[in-house]
Amino acid sequence: MKSHLPLEIINEILSRLPVKSLLRFLCVSKQWYARIKNQDFIKLHRQRSIENNRDRTLILGKMPRGKYRKGMLVSILDYCHGLVCIRNMLGETVIWNPLIRKYRILPTEPMLKPSYSYKSSSYKSSSHAFGYDLCNDDYKVLRVTTFHNGGQPLNEFEVKVYSLRSHSWRKIEDQWPKKECTISSTSASLNGALHWLIAEGPVYDIYPLGPECLLAFDLATEKFRVFKTPVQQESELVTYLEVLKGQLCFIVSPDFETETGHDYNDVWLMKEYGEESSWTRIYKIVQRSVPWTFKYCKPLMFSENDKKVLLEMRQYNRHDYNDVWLMKEYGEESSWTRIYKIVQRSVPWTFKYCKPLMFSENDKKVLLEMRQYNRKRQYNRTKLVWYDIEKKKGERVKIQKIPDSFETAICVGSLLLLDGDDVIDPAEQNNKRKRNESPT
């Protein structure tokens, strides 16, 4: 039976459906199979998923304790458009779409030696970032290698980028903008660019010797750019970057170990990307607004009415806060805006690490990832919290059988990597082997 609806209407309807439904519809007919796997439709569905705040999946990566094999310890590097970039201690990196159970393994790329000789005690360290190239419709992984001589940075860097489209690595010729600097944060991907906080001079423990700035790498032009942060890091405070509501987010927290007397957490947004004047503080979480003290407080997502925000909180001591800023206009340093400030007493747990993950649909709540230590301070404990920005109160998210310590990633519904390799469940593979071995 032929459809009486125009192709454009059918595509509009299908593009608004969740990924699980579309995977089932691949079996409807050859025409539907070809339509859903069409790259133009995949792009349309991806855009609808980004615009719609309902089709979200929370990925939790358990952080192991005790003895483990190197290949088993996997960390989440970053995530974008439903793709998650993960890496293990063996140096293997994978781009993975958890909703459709497909993945792509990145080819091994050696690190070169520095241009001059160095001591036997020297070593190399690398930072990875993952993002989307808007101009070329490509997903890329950036690797920045820092060379150390006897524990001190050599002020020499090697920058390489991997392209998912070409499935290959190549070296970036643009010069690292600041020779005497250290990457002091994890990366944040937004507007076709990757972002880090960098500090002038080396970083001892968690404190940079010099002022911090925001470093951006354009994935299309492959050029670096430097922005100012909304506030400069004070002594014994920790800053880090996230992406919230499609805007750059700057978070200020006390340090992880020292009693500072600060009991709140500030969050700023850059409302206009690239406009430094657009930094706006969107909320401030105070310790008394939550029922436990915290140091790390990560906003994960907002509730549907935007009155609450889900927080991941980590606990270290009792007197802390968390600032979150957004760059409202990308590239405008003046657009940094503090959107909220979380103080320890506003949430029911003590935390040190507080990361915003996503806003609710009405922007009134934010989902936070918060981390804390146990009493023996042997490992991090992680919690998810919905934080109400207006009421300045936090409410813990309860999930059955959730591990004590985990990493988080927010995935939008996406059909990307439909041509990737299948993820094989070891349990399913074992059951299939037993069925094949059993007598008929």
Is 230 in the same domain as 377?
Answer: yes
Residue 163 lies in a domain: yes
Do 24 and 127 reside in the same domain of the chain?
no
Inside any domain, residue 439: no
pLDDT value at residue 319: 42
Q: What is the pLDDT along the chain (440 residues), one digit of tens a residue?
A: 456 788 888 888 898 998 889 999 998 888 888 989 888 999 898 888 877 766 677 777 766 555 545 556 778 888 888 898 988 878 889 999 888 888 999 998 887 766 555 555 455 677 888 999 989 999 999 998 877 666 555 567 788 999 999 999 999 877 776 655 667 667 888 889 999 888 776 544 444 455 678 889 999 998 988 888 888 766 556 788 888 777 888 888 765 444 555 566 788 888 888 888 898 888 777 766 665 556 567 777 767 677 777 777 665 444 456 777 777 776 677 777 877 777 766 766 666 677 888 888 788 888 888 877 554 444 567 888 888 888 888 888 888 877 777 878 777 888 888 777 776 655 555 565 656 666 55
pLDDT value for 95: 93
Domain span including residue 242: 56-420
CA–CA gap between residue 162 and residue 146 (Å, rounded): 18
Give pLDDT, residue 416.
85
Per-residue model confidence (pLDDT) at position 180: 59
Task: Say if residue 319 is in the same domain as residue 231.
Answer: yes
Rounded to whole angstroms, the Cα distance separating 297 from 328 reads 21
Indicate if 36 and 166 belong to the same structural domain: no
Any domain includes 436: no
Say if residue 245 is in the same domain as residue 337. Answer: yes
6 & 91 share domain: no
Provide the number of structural domains found in the chain.
2
**Count of other CB atoms within 10 angstroms of residue 406:** 20
Q: Look up residue 424 and give its two tokens.
A: 């094989």
Complete DSSP assignment for 304-362:
TTSSBEEEEEE-S-SS-EEEEEEEEEEEEEEEEEEEEEEEBTTEEEE-SEEEEEEEEBT
24 inside domain: yes
* 69 and 32 in a common domain: no
Residue 47 shares a structural domain with residue 79: no
3-class DSSP assignment, residue 45: helix
Where among 34, 52, 70 does a domain terminate?
Answer: 52
**Residues 149 and 272 grouped into a single domain:** yes
96 touches 106 (CB < 8 A): no
Q: Annotate 75-143 with three-state secondary structure.
A: EEEEEECCEEEEEECCCCEEEEECCCCEEEECCCCCCCCCCCCCCCCCEEEEEEEEEEECCCCEEEEEE
21 and 96 part of one domain: no
Cα–Cα separations (whole angstroms), residue 104 to 232, 290, 412, 418 = 39, 41, 18, 10
Q: Which of 52, 74, 94 is the last residue of a domain?
A: 52
CB proximity list for 27: less than 8 A, separation 6 or greater: 33
Question: Are residues 157 and 46 both part of a single domain?
Answer: no
Residues 31 and 68 in one domain: no
Phi, psi torsion values for 392, nearest 5 degrees: 55, 45
